[in-house]
Each structure stands twice: as structure tokens, then as C-alpha cells.
Structure 1
Amino acid sequence: MVGCILRDMLLPRLCLMLVVLHAEETVASVSFSILVPGEKILASPGDTITLPCSVSPPFHPSEVRWYRPDKYDTPILLYKKLQVEEQEAADTQYTGRASLFGALEEGNASLKLDNLSASDSGEYVCYIQHDSWYERGRVLTEVRVLGSVPLISITDRGNGQVNVTCVSEGWSPQPTFTWRNRKGIEIKKGLNKVHSKDDQGLTTVSSWMLVSPSDSDGLFCSVGLPDQEMMESRVALHLSREQTCTPTGAWKDVVIAILALCLLGVGIYHLHKKGFIKWLLSQKNSNREEATDEEIVKFGQEEQMEHRANSNSCTEPTNSKELSEGTTEEIHSEKPPEKPKGEDKETNTEVDVSQTPEWDEAKQHKVLKLIVDEKTVPPSLTVKGKGATVYCPQPEKIHGHDNYFPHVLCTGPLSSGRHYWEVEMKKPDKQSWYVGVCSTTAAKLTPRVPITPENGFWVLHYEKGTGLFANTKPPLLVPTVKQLCKLGVYLNSSKKGIHTMSFFNAENGWPLCSFKYFKESGGLTPVLSPGLRDKYPLTVC
């Protein structure tokens, strides 16, 4: 009797539970929806991110498949038969980097990606199937990488025209790119642009155009990501009359010059016959004997200022006055000019690529025997040869070096006065390097800090394909005929912490550029970097 009563009570409840379970299973097998974010997920190289994906209503799906568009058969990750399957056809780019994140039994099918690179940017598909019903959702990611500062190069094409090229590399995603003239007006006509990607998914953008220097005195090249500050480089276009005149008028200039030289020669001959030149030389020598050191320094300052005023024209380098051995007088003013041309806006450093540095003066000083401070050598570089040579032993194993600036410091800081040293590039086809000085504060900074005067670095930089440039903000291109094999560095430091540093081609004495009148009271330390693009070393001579 009791058994019948229990049976009558439990049977309806059991039937009800079976009906409910069957209904839930039917709902799940018939329809469900996928929840994914509508906004793009932003990340940086090396980050770990989660791509959210879940089902509604929550249940434990029988299959989860993550894949790239048009790569359904080579998934990033496949969950099936209650486990993540190892497949030969899986996308090898994500091997060891992809996993499910969250409680799958609760409907969370999110994908976790480790060690991101620029090539991971783009669209991902979350595909979920249960019985005969499936849904898919799309998740967008963007791995952002700031590329290099744009570098401008100029090639003479003849007939009064030059080809101006601007290149910037290492971007993700593809950056915006604009040319502007000196008035800030965007240039849209006559441009050529090319975008290319390397094996890491980073974009290189280059643009070029033909211009006439007589019609355009300056150009600005800007590149950057849409919602970030643009990086910019500038170039001033100046051609001498010999470069811009037409072939028809060239012979006229030659004839006029020859006639002028002939007239000058006749005049000098008559003055010499009358004894005037001999008297003038005797007067000049007597005046020199009476001149004080202060007057000589003043004359040097006036000579420099006069040359700076005429620096817009192309001139051949001239030698400076010879100074006595061991002199410590400064050849530049204790105070910089109020508005120097070509200055770095952040540091008030004047960078001059047309001024003639004093090569003869630099060579009067003994070459410093610098030694690399091995305590400053980063893991990516190696020092050998009694602390005189530095190089990158394994450039092929270094990735993401676009925002990494490893270098070594030499023994320092240097005292006030004049110092000259040389750095040799063992191979003329070396791809990158930089040489210069840094402040005592900058010497303690990490290699991730940009090498700029604002951060306490004054260097001459070389990148293959773009050439030499001073590390101002924006960079200033340094014209040169061929790649350097030996660089000369001449530093003139006053006791008040005002410095001028000049760079030369040490093989022929040809001047390259000068950093003028920059202030740093804590002393300066020589710095050099062989770059990370090849194994070829730099050696301090």
C-alpha cells in the first residue's frame, strides 16, 4: 500500500524533470546566440590578450573553433569531444600561444593569445556548434607598433630638379602619411607612395616626388597613427647657381668668371709692381704680433657669425686660424645666439650642416684613447679588443628593436676643454650605428628611451637606405657623398657647461655637421652604438 503511494507521488515529478531537461536540450540544440565585443581590442607587441566569446543562454558547447577568415580548415584552436584537439592542419603561427580562457561549461569560449606580434592584428572568428546548430562571431584586434622617425633623402635628377624620398618603417597598423610645404599646406599632386610588409607584419611606407628647389625652399614629411601625435622630418632644398642654371646660360657664367679673374690678376700684378702688396703684408704681420689672445678669440667669433649669416649659400670648407698647442681658450661665445637657425625646439641646440667645422683645429689635439665601460654594455651587445670594439653578435635573434636603442658608454665624463676622438666602422656596408655624447643623467636611462637631445643625447646617426642624420626632433639630414669608414668627433666644452660638438669624415677631413651652444653642466660622456642590424663592429681608435 505504502509502495503504491510513493510510486504515485514520485512518478509525476520524475516525468516533469525529464520533460524540463529535454526542453533545455532542445532549446540548446535549436538556437543560441554568440556574444562578442563590438569594439576593436588594442594591444602592444609581447602582450597577452583575451578575445571574448560566449554563448547565450549558457551551456557547454560540443565544438569551439577559433580561426582566421578563410582559414576554417586550419584553425588556431579546435575544441571537440570534450578536449582541445591537436591537429596537423592547425595554424602553426599560433602553436604554443593559443588556449581557451574561462569556464567552458558555463558557455565561456574566449581565446587567450600570448606574446603578440604585429602579424596578429586583424580579424578572428569564434565558431560554436552544438548538435546541428552553429553560430559565429567576429573579434577585431590591433597590435600597435610605432615605427621609425621618417627620414628624407635627396637625389639630383638634373635639369634643376631633385627627387625627394621619405621613408619610415616598422609600423602597425598602416600609418597615415603626408607631405607639407614650408607654409604647412599639404602637398597632394605629383606624389608616389608604396606600402610593404615584412615577415613580422610591420609596414614600411615610402613616398617620393620630383621638385624644383627654386620653387620649394623646404618640405615636411609626416607619418603616424590616426589618434596619436605625428612624427615629422624636414629638409631644406638649396641648389647653387651652377646646379640650377640651364645649359644655355652655363657658358656665360664661365666666361664672366674667367674675365673677372683676368682683371683681378692684372690688378694684383700692378699693385705688386708698385710695392703696395709688400707694404700691406708687413703691416698685417706687425698687427698680428700685437694682437692679444682675447682679440684672436673675438675675431674667431665674428668670423663664425659672419659665416653663419651666409650659410644659405653652398661654399667649400675653409681652414680656421691655427691655435697654439695646449691652448684652452674657447672659440665660441659663452652664450648662444638668441635665435639660432636650425635649432632643436626642445633643447635650444643649434644643429648646423652647412657651417664649416674646424678640422685643422681638431687635428691639433691628440686623439683620445677611449675605453668602453663594460658595466654599461647591454645584453644585446658584446665588447672585445681591450674595451675598444663593440658589436651585436646575434642580430638575427633580436626582434622588436624599433623602439630599442642599446649602446655603450666610454670612460667619462669628459672635463671642460677640447677633446678629439675617432670611431672606425670596420665594414663600409655597415647598416646602422650612432656616435656622440650623452649627459650624466642620460647615462642612467634604459635603452627604451629615444636618443634625442631632449633626453640628453647628442649623436650622429646612420641608417642604411636613408643616410646620415642628426638626432634632433625632427631629424636633420646630413648630406654626404659616400658612406663613412672613420668618423672624427671634436668636442669643445666651456667651464660654464656650454658645448659645441663637430663631426668629420676622418679620412679626408670633410665636415659633416655640428651641434652648437648646447648646455649641460654635469659633463658629457662619449656614447656609441653598432646598431642591431648586422654583426659589423665599431672601434674607438
Structure 2
Amino acid sequence: MHCLCLCLTEMRSIIVLLLLNILTDCSVSFTVKVPPGPVVAHVGSTVILPCWISPAQNAEALEIRWYRHGQFSNTVLLYRHGNIQDEQEETFRNRSSLTPLSDLSGGLKGGDVSLQLETITIQDEALFHCYVSGDNGYDSAELELKATAPGSAPVLFPRPLDDGRLNVSCSSSGWYPEPNITWTSDQGKTLRPAAVSHHRAADGLFSVHSWTTVSPSDAQLVSCSVSTTTGESKEGKVDIQGIISSDSSDPWKALFITVIICALLGLAALILYKYRSKPAGKKQAGTDCENGPVEERKVPVNINIEDLRKHAEQITIDRENISPDLKVTADCKCVRDSPEYHHTAEGFPYQLCAFGAQRFTSGRHYWEVELARENTPAKNYWLIGVAKHGNHCGKDRSAVTPSCGFWFLCSDGENGFYPNTETPIYLSVTPRPERLGVLLDYDEGLLQFYSVKESKHLLTMHTRFSDSIVPLFNPGVGDICPLKIVDCPVEEDSPAGVTVPLLNN
């Protein structure tokens, strides 16, 4: 009897397990898949986190929930009942969307539930969960997002010491994650740094500073390499043989060199004083404007607009950071002065500023602005350029200088064209641009302007950018035409039926 009871108990357990397996097999009709390893994206870029269901099936009627680890209810994006829901973390609002990984994936109908994030920040680094559920079951998978930022090229500064050696310092900024620094000689020998220090700015980016001592007899060149664990690397070099000669210890020669240097500095100061005392005049188009110590660069004569468009960005206007006297279209592409606004003060209305929603901390970025419409003359008043993120435009020209974090080209009607350099400079630009191209090279410290219709270079501004940089727009007052940001056209030789953006962030 006891054995019979045991047998019945075991049979009952087996039946329960079989029923559970059957129910499980019926409820789980798909599996959520993500690629192995982390997804790495540059700060300021756009990235797609791949996720799909297997076997492939139509996901339009399913619930798709993207969230960061441990924050199931605080979603990055929630798709339910065939629509994106207005329930998400505030930091991801207007930055997240369901975007197919490729044109061949079939999108939601093909089971592609990939997430696209725009304007990546360091704070976006996390484990992201892709959760899909339906009437017949649910499944999820996690994917790691890592942010990276390639900093500026290292700047080396050598300083002679009393014992004949050189103290060489190396500095670079704008890195993420925290970078490493390596010193080497032209003979391939690794040099030991005397010190290395890191500093993290408020935006989360790192700067690094180091110095080492070296004898001119030990090396011809000294290089400083800054790199991160994500593979970003930049190097700077200095020729130390040209700095200290073998007979530099001769005191009479040192005195002679000192006298010569003082004389040259005095002559340079006199020339600068006389130059600044002259009234500002006209300067021809195709000009290089310097805002700080920069090296000489040559401006290309033949401009290929298609080459510039390879760096094209999809720019939109930030509605939350705009002058109340401006009107913006629903697509955030077009801006003009409000009909209720009346400009009573003299001079250009610098306060009517709109800022781009995209932020840049590295790389090259290009966009175009339409300044004319069919059968309508080109705008007379506009201001286009870039600014540090978080800046606010003042009413006076002295409040929007490069030292205040603004760089732009302005068209001020009869007053002509001018950049916002510390020393006033006016440009002769003919014909008046109907479409303006803007190229921002963050790493090289360049801001260039082009007349797209004429394929003509207008102006290059040199500077050193820091922190996040955003596009800057001001439509002026009184023109019939608005100021419109246009999306650059795609290449005509793209495969049929496939739309390929010119820039993959």
C-alpha cells in the first residue's frame, strides 16, 4: 500500500511537469535577440541599438518596451496599441525612436524592433533592455551602450632647463572615457612621465596633462600619444633638436639672442598698434579670420559641395531655447520673426536667436540654410553660425563675441556682411547667397561658410572649441522669406529603392 502511494505521487509530479512544459511551449512563441558585445557610439552622434524577434513575425500588434537596467517602469521608449506612448524618461524625449537596422530588415512588420538614440551623451551609457510581449508570451534581452569621445590633438610645449635638458609638457581635452598618455622618442623608446593629471569637466569629458624631461642628445623627436580603451588615439610631436643647440650655454650668444627677440617683439607691438589704430575696412570674400593663436591654413580654391555633404547633419531647432519673438514651424526646420514683434532699436537684432537641438563635441558636421524662395529675393538680414550650448544671445554686439562663446557670419542689410570677430571686419560678398552651407570642424577649430549655389567659399573662422557646440540661427527682421534649414539631398547613384543618408553619425 505504501509503495502504491509513492507511485501515485511520482506519477502526479510527472504529469504536472509535462503540463507546465506544454503551457510554456504554447506561451513563448518568439525569442528576443540582440548582437553580442557592447555598442560603441561617439558623443553627439546617432546610434541604433539592434533588437529583433525570432522567428521573424509582424510586431505591430505587440508591446515593445525599451528601458535601462532596473528601470522597467521608467521607459526609454514604449510602443503599445500600434503607437509610441508618451511615457518615457525626460532625458530621452525627442531623442528616441523605433528605427529599422537596415532597409532589408522589414521594420516592425519583419520583427525589427531596434531603438535609435540621437545626440548621444555620456549619461546615456547603460545596459538597455529590449522587452517584447504579446498575447502568446514575452521575452527580453539586454544590450550595453558605451559612449566615447575623441579629444583634441595633444599640444606639446617644450621649455629649456638650466642643466641643458628640456621640460616637455603635453595637454589634451574632450576625451571619454578617461584617456591614457604615453611618451616615446623617435628611437621607439618609452619615456617615463614625471607626472600625469586628469580633470573631469561638468559635461563629463576628461582633460589630461603630463610632462617629462629629456636630453637633446637622447632623441631628435619626442611624441605624446593620448588614447582610450575604446580605440581612440591622437598623437603630437615636437622636434627638440631645433630648440636647444649644442652651444646654447654660451652666455654672450644667449644675450645676443635675447636682445634680438626683444627687438622683434617691440617691432611687432608697434605694427600691431598701428594696424589696430586704422578704421576697419572691407575684406574680400574667401577670407580667414583668426580668433586666437592658430596655424596658417590654405583655403581650397575649387569647392566640391558634394564632398561637404558627406558630413551632413539633420539639424532641427530647439523649441525650448528660443527667443519668444520668433515663430518656428512644426517640423522645427523654419524660423522667422513674429508679426507682433517690432524692432525699435538701432542695429541688428542679435537677441532673436534660435539654437539647434543637436550638440557637437567632436568631428566634422555640415548643414545648409535656405535664404531665398522662388520668385522672391534673397534675405537681407540673417545671422548663422554656432554657439556654446546653454548660451543666451544679448541685444548688443559685444555680448555675442567669440570670447562669449559665439561664432557666426551676419548679413545686416545695407551694412553688409561681417563675422563677429573681436576686431570689426567687413566682407564683400556677391552675389547675395541664396543657400548658405556651414561646415563645423570641432577638432581642427574651424568654422567655414559657403555659398552653395555658386560653390564658393566665403569665410573661414579659426578658434579652439570647448564644451558642447550647437548651431545658431537668427532670421533678422523685416524679410519676406523665412530662414529655413534644409536636408541635404542624397547621392543620385544610390541603389534603386534604397534611401541612403549622406552621413552616418
Tell me the TM-score normalized by structure 1.
0.41
Which of 1 and 2 has higher RCO (CA within 8 Å, sep 6+)? 2
Relative to total residues, which structure has the larger helix share, 1 or 2? 1
Q: In terms of Rg, which structure is larger?
A: 1
